[in-house]
Amino acid sequence: MTTSLTPPGPQVDPHIREAVFPGDTESLVAIVREYVRWLDMDLSYRGFEEEMQSFEQTYTLPSGMFFIVEVDGEVAGCGGLLRHSDDVAEVKRVYVRPAYRGLALGEKIMTRVIGKAKSLGFAKLVLDSVPQTAFAQKLYERMGFTETAPYYANPVAGTRFLELVL
Per residue in 48-88, pLDDT (tens digit) is 999 999 999 999 999 999 999 999 989 999 999 999 999 99
pLDDT for 122 beyond 90: yes
Within-domain flag for 86: yes
| 6 domain residue, yes or no | no
- Residue 145 belongs to a domain: yes
- Quick one: average pLDDT of 17-27? 96
Q: Is residue 155 part of a domain?
A: yes
125 forms beta bridges with 89, 164
Q: How many domains does the chain have?
A: 1
pLDDT above 70 for 132: yes
Q: Provide the residue range defining the domain that includes 136.
A: 15-165
Residue 5 lies in a domain: no
Note the pTM of the prediction, 2 decimals: 0.89
- CATH number, domain of 25, equals 3.40.630.30
CA atoms 147, 150, 154, 157: torsion sign:
positive
State which of 9-18, 21-30, 44-53 shows the largest mean pLDDT: 21-30
Reported confidence tier of residue 109, pLDDT bands at 50, 70, 90 = very high
Within a domain: 7: no
pLDDT at 152: 86
- Residue 96 forms part of a structural domain: yes
Give domain status of residue 3, yes or no.
no
Q: Are strands 74-83 and 88-96 parallel, antiparallel or unpaired?
A: antiparallel
Say yes or no to pLDDT of 38 above 60: yes
